[in-house]
Amino acid sequence: MKESSGSSGLRTYVLTRLALALPTVLILLTVVFLLMRVAPGDPITAALGARLPAKELEKRKEEAGYDKPIISQYGEYLGQVVTLDLGESVTDNRSVTSILAENGSATLELTVAAFMITLLVGVPLGLMAGRYRDGPWDVGGRLYGIIIYAFPVFFLGFLFQLLASQFGWPTSGRASPLVEYDLDSITNFYVIDTLLQGDWSAFWDVLQHLFLPAFVLGLTISGVLIRLIRVNLLQTMRGDYVEAARARGVSERRVVINHAFRNAMVPVVTVAGLQFAILLGGAVLTEETFNWPGIGSELVRYLNQRDYIAVQGIVTVFAVAVVIVSLLIDLVNAFIDPRVRYR
Partner 1 sequence: MSAHEDDPILDVRDLRVWYGTGGDPVRAVDGVSFQIGRGETLGLVGESGCGKSTLGRGVLGLLPDAAAVTGSVRFDGRELVGAPAAEVRDLRGPELGLIFQEPMTRLDPLQTIEAHFREALNTHRPELGKEEVRRRSLEALAGMGIPRTRFGQYPHEFSGGMRQRIMIALALVLEPKVLVADEPTTALDVIVEAQILGILADLRRNFDTAILLVTHNLGIVAEACNRVAVMYAGEIVEEGDARELFAEPAHPYTRELLRATISLETTGLNYIPGAPPSLIDPPPACRFHPRCPSAMRVCADLHPIEVRAPAGQRVSCWLHGPEGQIPAGGREPLERREFAEAEEA
Which residues would be at the binding site for partner 1 (CB under 8 A)?
1-6, 239-241, 243-252, 254, 258-259, 262-263, 266, 336-339, 342
As a whole number of angstroms, the distance between CA 27 and CA 323 comes to: 11
Closest CB 272 distance from partner 1, rounded Å: 17
Outline where 151-294 has alpha helix (H). 153-166, 177-182, 190-197, 200-237, 240-247, 252-254, 262-282, 284-289
Nearer Cβ to partner 1 (131/259):
259
265/315 with CB nearer partner 1? 265
Whichever of 207 and 234 has its CB closer to partner 1, that residue is 234
CB nearer partner 1, residue 6 or residue 152: 6
Q: How far is the CB of 239 from partner 1 (least distance, A)?
A: 7
Q: Which H/E stretch holds residue 341?
A: none
Q: How far is the CB of 1 from partner 1 (least distance, A)?
A: 5
Closest residue by Cα to residue 101 from 193, 203, 197, 215: 193
* Smallest distance from partner 1 to CB 17, Å: 19
Q: What is the dihedral of CA 322, 320, 115, 288, to 10 degrees?
A: -100
Of the pair 4, 83, the CB lying nearest partner 1 is at 4
Closest by CA to 328, choosing from 14, 88, 99, 81, is 14
Nearest to 227 by CA among 150, 339, 326: 150
Nearer to partner 1 by C-beta: 165 or 251? 251
Phi, psi of 65 (to 5 degrees): 85, 20
**Distances in Å between the alpha carbon of 337 and those of 130, 206, 333?**
21, 38, 6
Bridge partner residues of 88 (DSSP): 95
The amino acid at residue 68 is: K
Instruction: In whole angstroms, give the CA distance from residue 180 to residue 187.
Output: 14
Q: How far is the CB of 139 from partner 1 (least distance, A)?
A: 17
Find the shortest distance in angstroms from Cβ 243 to partner 1: 7
HSE-up of 116 (CA within 13 Å, CB side)?
9
Closer residue to partner 1 (CB): 310 or 329 = 329
Half-sphere exposure of 220 (CA within 13 A, CB side): 24
Nearest residue to 275 (alpha-carbon basis) of 108, 111, 156: 111
Closest CB to partner 1 among residues 65, 135: 135
Q: How far is the CB of 225 from partner 1 (least distance, A)?
A: 20
Cα distances (Å, whole numbers) of residue 146 to 95, 182, 189: 42, 43, 33
- Whose Cβ is closer to partner 1: residue 81's or residue 233's? 233
Closest approach of Cβ 241 to partner 1, in Å? 4
**CB 337 to partner 1: min, Å:** 6
